[in-house]
Chains A and B, each alone.
Chain A
Amino acid sequence: MREIHVQKITAAVAELCRKANYFLGEDVVGALQKGLQEEVSPAGRDVFRQLLENARIAREEEVPLCQDTGSAVLFVDLGQEVLLTGGDFNEAINEGVRQGYRQSFLRSSIVSDPLERVNTGDNTPAIVQLRIVPGEKIKLTLAPKGGGSENMSAVRMLTPAQGAEGLVDFVVETVTRAGASPCPPVVVGVGLGGNFEMVALLAKKALLRPLGEPHPKAVYARLEREILEKINKSGIGPQGFGGRITALAVHLETAPCHIASLPAAVNINCHAARHAQIVL
């Protein structure tokens, strides 16, 4: 067993909060530059220029890319040969979020009760997706998720007969109905298979893939392309001002499912597709 003190997790999470919210990934910057070249609408091109300028300011001045610094969604791959010492693992993560959001001047966007709606003041609790994996390391991936795009996301239990066609229609319908609200150009995470709760997680995980990297299976890579093309024919464009580029990428993740079911989920991310990773 390898011993890891939970304080190390706290420090790592705090640093991930800063990095993810200040520094837009090179893959996303590249997609925005490509978008600027390919967009034909003048208003849309202006949006791409603003977003690239915004990413530069955030990086150079170390300020958040967006005021909505999100829910702290943390994916933890915990090696089964790790022995966690020195305290409560979950509290160590929340302490990391608390420190990270305070020290880096990130917005507290979490209310403690869905109806009473009192802000917790430190962006805790984190939303933790824990997986036990072989090995003696811990991989932490933080994906701060904004509320505007999350609100436009959807799960639908399709029937097997609806198949790929049903999936394409559902995704395109969900993204076009969202219009300008989720801050297009968006990144679209699609889950297919699993069950009701798992398919939403698949869609969220799909957002972690480097932007534009296709699904390894050809049939799904083709579906990703087909969905992206259809979304980009909607005309919604950057910020909904009209244009060619409504989505930067569509990423699909799949899992085995029940003979009766074809669960599908769409998790929309704004253009600020933020995530940061560290391995302990």
Chain B
Amino acid sequence: MRAPLTDSDVEKMHAGDTVLISGVIYTARDAAHQRLVELLDKGHALPVDLKGQILYYVGPAPAKPGQAIGSAGPTTSGRMDPYTPALLQYGVKALIGKGSRSPEVRRALQNFKGIYLAATGGAGALLAKKILAAEIVAYPELGPEAIRRLVVKDFPATVINDIYGKDLYEEGRKSYAKY
């Protein structure tokens, strides 16, 4: 999978699919989301064009000398729920994090044709090795919460919510409950 993504790209994705992402993804977490959505609410332009793009909820550890980025696994997505529908309406196509989303986000994924994926939480050392380059493109004062442009290769993720209303967390749990 590679951004920018179109409606027809995300139409092909289904909950439970595992994908390898290559190319550009953008990081954003709590504080950056708040700022982005404030700009959208005021009708202002965003500091980076995120239409068709993939957002990754991560606040990386500092890079050691010679590293592109420090450990960089996903943070809990639920905290981004209040901001996500506005970003999907704007045109963001895919979100990567961990943990379940609100009904509002799931509806917005269906309405605006977007997908939500999970990367393995707590595998930050492993995931950092899939990130070839990182540069801060907005809000450097936010430190680990700044928006970074990452170049990734074969970054592994699993589709949790597709545009058809399916949710892997619900399906997976049902399949294995009381095993």
B168–A181 contact, CB under 8 A? no
B172–A61 contact, CB under 8 A? no
Question: Cβ of B84 < 8 Å from any Cβ of A?
Answer: no
Q: Which residues of A contact B176 (CB under 8 A)?
A: 40-41, 235, 237, 242-244
Contacts A/B (CB < 8 Å), 30 sampled: A47-B120, A51-B123, A53-B126, A54-B120, A63-B64, A66-B71, A66-B125, A67-B59, A67-B60, A68-B59, A68-B73, A105-B62, A108-B143, A119-B143, A148-B76, A148-B99, A148-B121, A179-B99, A179-B169, A179-B173, A180-B118, A181-B98, A181-B100, A235-B172, A235-B179, A236-B173, A239-B120, A240-B98, A241-B168, A243-B179
The interface bits of chain A over 35-59 (1 if a CB of B lies within 8 angstroms of the residue's CB, else 0) are 0000011010011001101100110
- A229-266, CB < 8 A from B: 233-237, 239-244
Q: Tell me, in angstroms, the Cα distance from A53 to B70 when the chains sit together.
A: 16
Closest to A46 in B: B18
Query: Contacting A67 at CB < 8 Å: which of B72, B118, B168, B179?
Result: B72
Q: Which of B60, B75, B118, B123 has the most CB of A within 10 A?
A: B123
Q: How many B residues touch A, CB cutoff 8 Å?
A: 48
Binding site for B on A (CB under 8 A): 40-41, 43, 46-47, 50-51, 53-54, 57-58, 61, 63-69, 105-109, 117, 119, 121, 147-148, 151, 179-183, 233-237, 239-244, 270-272
Binding site for A on B (CB under 8 A): 16, 18, 31, 58-64, 67, 70-73, 75-76, 78, 98-100, 118, 120-126, 128-129, 142-145, 156, 158, 168-169, 171-179
B70–A180 contact, CB under 8 A? no
Closest to A59 in B: B125
The prevalent SS among residues of A at the interface is loop
Query: Contacting A242 at CB < 8 Å: which of B99, B123, B126, B175?
Result: B175
Closest to A176 in B: B173
Q: Tell me, in angstroms, the Cα distance from A46 to B172 when the chains sit together.
A: 14
Q: Which residues of B contact A51 (CB under 8 A)?
A: 120, 122-123
Q: Which residues of B contact A183 (CB under 8 A)?
A: 98, 121-122
Q: Which residues of A contact B118 (CB under 8 A)?
A: 180, 239-241
